[in-house]
Structure 1
Amino acid sequence: MHISQLVDIFTQEISTQSIMDQISQISQYHRIQGSMKFHESAKHIQAILSNNSIFSKIYEYPADGKWEKWGWVSPISWDIKSGECWLMKPVKKRLSRFIDHPMSVITHSKAADFEGTLVDIGKGDKPSDYAKAKGKIALITASPRRIFSYAARHDVKGIILHPDLNRAAQIGDTTVQYDGFWPVNENLSDVTSGFSISHAQARELQNYLRGKKEVKLHFKIDANFSDDKRKLHVLETPFIGSERPLEEIVIIAHLCHPSPGANDNASGSATLLEIALSLNRMIKTGQIAQPKRTLRFLWVPEFSGTIPWLAEYDQQRNTEGRKILSVFNLDMVGESPVKVGTPLTISSPSISTPSFLPGMIRYVSECVKKQKVAKNGWTYQLNYDIQSFAGGSDHLIFNDSYFSIPGVMFGHDDPYHHTSADSIDKVEPLECRSAGVITGVTAYSLATSNSLFLQEILASVFSDIIEEANSLNHRLNKSGELSQAQQLRQKELLAQMSTNRLKSILELDFEGNLKEDIEHFSKLVKLHFNHLIQKNTNSEEKERMENISNQIIIQCNFIGPLPFKRLMDPSRSESNQLRLGSLTKKYWGGLVLELLNLANGKMNVEDIFLLLKIPYPDVMYDDIKYIVNLFIEEKILLSVEN
């Protein structure tokens, strides 16, 4: 069977109606990590698996704000029953209500029943901003998780959050955004109460304040932080491999997020469920064989469930020989091309772990793209974009150099995520199916690894490597940004990485039939790069190359994936917060995370810069040098003389 035939089988089997039905069901749960509603949503999916005779298991982990691994601290379980915010003066009317917009109550708000006077403190991202709000309610645009301790220092009574002008321009004037306080046990006492309102509502309140009118609000919230008995829940269902059960392909989606959260991430969770159901049907009916490696499906609370699950895996890979070969993360896969319009984005694995995955996924995606579906006066056809490694979801933890598991993420750059506008009317089930087919076909092919699949994978990866090499060469010739010596070194580094991408296919080869083919393709890659490199460098360039190789080597000074709290350390100076924050926002933190992944105690700073400039062409050496110096000062990195 060819991969294109497998694409046809999966396309016919995966049901768009089933996906939409489950998105509709899941989006009704207010799925905050560690909450009862999250647990109910996991049990809902488990019941469907059980009804189809598919084994599953729910793992329980602490949700007490105390449990810690690799510096990541578990969230505290929180449940809410109701919440209302009323404007009492200068007019009386209800501003928001939990049953209308669940995300209108800021997550982790404490129970409340009080009146307070509103004061507008602007963005509210500095401790000094809250002095003017002592004993009052503060109107802000900054994320509550960053500032609630500032508010506590000044006895601020409550928080009203609203979108700033830029965010409102993206999501609309009447849309409410989602945010939370996200305390841990040590700062739980600092938590206050808060509501999230729309930009239009905030303008109304600001107009009252500008007119010198007193604005009084009434907060009423019925919510509580649970005792230590509440847990984080991770739902797992494995299809055990028939020949190599300890070698695994993981497909993951985060089930958490507030209601509705239709695209983020009911779409990923529902698509993951439909892949599992379809796989089960196809195996039972004999359309496909039982996979030789284990396919493991995970529904997690984002990051907070993945970390403890991986901590268990970390023990078992050392004691039991478990090995995850690849990871597929489904996060916001349902965006409508008509109503929202951005392509399905596929985030590549970390360049620190060269992998065949991008080339293979491109090949499978092209097979899916050939299929067109007429629908209500328009024709659906997959529009996708394979991008550089980016953070923002669970795949980044697997890609971390501590694990070095190549993982990809399927998603969309959805402007409505984390807002009340992330509703089911903006979901396109055909887009979900495309993501499901690409994921299912690629994962199943890796788990099966028959010789025909492997030959197709090898050819697609080789083609991808040549295209990337030619693209880099064209870019270097056009930009003139790097010196000749830097250009040569960058091509050498890409050549090494490309050869390793080909060699990564050997891990899939059960019978060792591909060794000669990979050696052949590796020679072709070397010849191609030799042609591009043209090693007739002059003496000045050779001296420059020697200077590059003698630079400082850096290595990480921590074990495991770096927690976000260290990347976003509020104790940094304002200038450092602004500059690092700007660099971290790029590619959802991908640039900074990749720098850390490459800091392996073997590479020098300029080589790391030249490697990073391949997937991130706009990165500047001064930026890399700044991050390295800051992280050495903060002891996140260590410098080692070469």
Structure 2
Amino acid sequence: MRLILPLLLAVPLLAQPDLVPEPAWRAIFGAVSARQIMEDTEALSRRHRYPNSRGFLDAAAWVQERAAEAGLINPRLERFDERAPFWDPVEATLDLLAPETLRLADLRDVPVLLMERSADGEIEGELVDAGEGSRAEDFANLDVAGKILLTRRSPGRLWPDLAKRGALGVLSAASPRFFGRAVPAEATAWQQAPRGAVAFSISPKLGTELAALRRQGPVRVKMRARSGQSAPGATALLLTEMPGGAPGRDVVVVAHLDHQQPGANDNASGSAAILEAARVWRQLIGTGALPEPRRRVRFWWSTEISSEGKYFQRYPDESRNILLAVNLDQAGGERGADNHLIAILSPDWLPSWADDLIHQIAGSAGRLAPPEHAPSPLTLAPEGSQQPLRPVFWPYAPLSDHVPFVDKTVRVPAISLAVPSLSVIHTDFDSPARLDPTWLKRSAAVTLAAAAWAANAGPEEANALLRYSTSQAASRIAAAADRQAQLKQEERRLDSFRALDPALDIEPHRRRLRAVARALD
């Protein structure tokens, strides 16, 4: 009975319709264009979009024009001054001079060749292999005077001492790992230059080849680096909004616009997908397939994490005006890979209704493309995969633009979505050709659905989510190692529903969860 009782308590709550009904899903999936998202992703991928760069501002201006075409209004670019000047790569070449002459790399072919914030210069010298090159002992017994350093990692803070010893520049063949996944040996990583160094990023494959050549005898190379710099520098946040909707408890849809070129999945794809979500939302309102939002909806394109944090520092009362943030960081996955829709859950200090909202909506979308049979054609894109839509829920991790919203000083609930490409992000291999159009379509659709639900939620919708959340909470309590601690978290989650509707009666739900916890103790 102790095991059966919580299930009995939850059963009446399980039989309820999806928060997004099937006709709405059909309208959304039917209207979202993977081709349009891909075209916009390609346009952004042709730009260097480093933080604190003219390239970022150029990309923001491009997005602003497209946002206006999509029907968004009141554009504003919030700029945040930086001590460092704007920095944009202009030209970089790496040449082998001896034992033979050969062009090894060119910025036009390898957009991340010139490390971000590299110094300008034209230098040539003998190559010295420093191995890992990130520890003082790696250089202790090396003669670096007049030499160019070949490393497996950037020397970072060691550079000033190496420069004093006469080192000329750095070639770093770094191979970053994301969640244990190494990038391909042919891929070149986005890296930050040691301050004051002429520094290039090269692929592990090229690094291995140069190290092997160096073991056979002296190797001489030439580095030519030129950037565009102007002061004062600034990071920025582009803000727009949809017409209509009452301000005061707004929904923010956000994607970071910055990163290296091409940065297709991370995050030109997310930036393009929320632009398509805005277009489709306006279109479906026009046809009557979706209602006009009750609440104001804002669309933001950010410098990842930092610009929103600075925005809330500049406008500390703004957090009171935001009901929910929906973040999309990587929309297209990787063609040929086993892709999943990732949702990052709320931190322990901010349990909220947002987790169960995305759990229900992503699960509802997934039922249109389940693993046990062929997905609905609505969820597919031409030239895209036919993979099932399987949502995966990660515990809170400070990885993307949800971070400044859920910060303890801001405390805005956030949904953070991604279809990551962990084997190529932050490299020159993160190109549009590697994206899966089916996942571009799905990412935009789920983002739109979650934001539209929150923007339109009235008492009826809030009660429907409250019932679903209570059933989920009962399951979480039953599965918890410390049920009393979990009960406290779930009661705090119930309290969060008052932001949706202050008149909600949450006490019956609180009593039900307490009964579940008692039955299991």
Cα 1:265–1:531 change in 2 (3 A) is: same
- Which residue does 1:287 correspond to in 2? 289
- Which residue does 1:296 correspond to in 2? 298
- Which residue does 2:332 correspond to in 1? 334
2:239 to 236, 240, 243: 236
Q: C-alpha displacement at 1:392, in angstroms?
A: 1.9
Cα 1:366–1:218 change in 2 (3 A) is: same
For the residues of structure 2 that align with 1:227 and 1:82, how far apart are their CA atoms?
A: 20
2:519 to 525, 531, 534: 531
TM-superposition CA deviations, 1:199-231 (whole Å, max 9, x none): 2211111112222x1111101112133121x43
Matched residue of 1:408: which SS? strand
- Which residue does 1:100 correspond to in 2? 109
Q: C-alpha displacement at 1:134, in angstroms?
A: 3.8
For the residues of structure 1 that align with 2:244 and 2:313, how far apart are their CA atoms?
A: 22
- Alignment root-mean-square deviation, CA: 2.4
Is 1:399 the counterpart of 2:406 in the alignment?
yes
Matched residue of 1:82: which SS? strand
For the residues of structure 2 that align with 1:96 and 1:62, how far apart are their CA atoms?
A: 34
Q: C-alpha displacement at 1:148, in angstroms?
A: 4.1
For the residues of structure 2 that align with 1:329 and 1:200, how far apart are their CA atoms?
A: 35
TM-superposition CA deviations, 1:71-117 (whole Å, max 9, x none): xxxx5410221110111112211111001011111111111111022
For the residues of structure 2 that align with 1:23 and 1:403, how far apart are their CA atoms?
A: 31
- Which residue does 2:307 correspond to in 1? 305
Cα 1:526–1:16 change in 2 (3 A) is: same
**AA matched with 2:310:** P
Is 1:197 the counterpart of 2:202 in the alignment?
yes
Q: How does 1:211-610 map to 2 (within 5 A)?
A: 211=216, 213-228=217-232, 230-239=233-242, 242-243=245-246, 245-316=247-318, 322-336=320-334, 338-371=335-368, 372=375, 373=377, 379-411=386-418, 412=420, 414-472=422-480, 476=481, 490-509=482-501, 512=503, 514-515=504-505, 518-532=506-520, 534=521
For the residues of structure 2 that align with 1:180 and 1:362, how far apart are their CA atoms?
A: 37
1:263–1:334 contact (8 Å) kept in structure 2: yes
For the residues of structure 2 that align with 1:395 and 1:34, how far apart are their CA atoms?
A: 21
Is 1:22 the counterpart of 2:40 in the alignment?
yes
2:52–2:82 contact (8 Å) kept in structure 1: no
1:84–1:98 contact (8 Å) kept in structure 2: yes
Structure with more contact order per residue of length (Cα contacts < 8 Å, sep ≥ 6): 2
Aligned residues: 489
2:384–2:438 contact (8 Å) kept in structure 1: no
2:125–2:168 contact (8 Å) kept in structure 1: yes
- Which residue does 1:118 correspond to in 2? 127
The structure richer in helix per residue is 1
TM-superposition CA deviations, 1:104-138 (whole Å, max 9, x none): 11111111111022111122222343453343211
**AA matched with 1:22:** D
1:170 to 182, 200, 203: 182
Cα 1:195–1:425 change in 2 (3 A) is: same
Matched residue of 1:379: which SS? coil
**AA matched with 2:104:** L
Cα 1:325–1:526 change in 2 (3 A) is: same
Matched residue of 1:96: which SS? strand
TM-superposition CA deviations, 1:276-323 (whole Å, max 9, x none): 111222223333333222211110111332232222231555xxxx42
- Which residue does 2:7 correspond to in 1? none
TM-score with structure 1 setting the length: 0.72
**AA matched with 1:222:** R
Matched residue of 1:3: which SS? coil
Q: C-alpha displacement at 1:493, in angstroms?
A: 1.3
Identical residues among aligned pairs (%) = 25
Matched residue of 2:460: which SS? helix
For the residues of structure 1 that align with 2:353 and 2:384, how far apart are their CA atoms?
A: 38
For the residues of structure 2 that align with 1:406 and 1:147, how far apart are their CA atoms?
A: 41
For the residues of structure 1 that align with 2:154 and 2:359, how far apart are their CA atoms?
A: 37
Q: C-alpha displacement at 1:61, in angstroms?
A: 2.2
User: Structure 1: 5+ residue runs without aligned partners?
Assistant: 66-74, 184-189, 477-489, 535-642
**AA matched with 1:180:** Q
**AA matched with 1:440:** L
Cα 1:58–1:218 change in 2 (3 A) is: farther
- Which residue does 2:96 correspond to in 1? 87
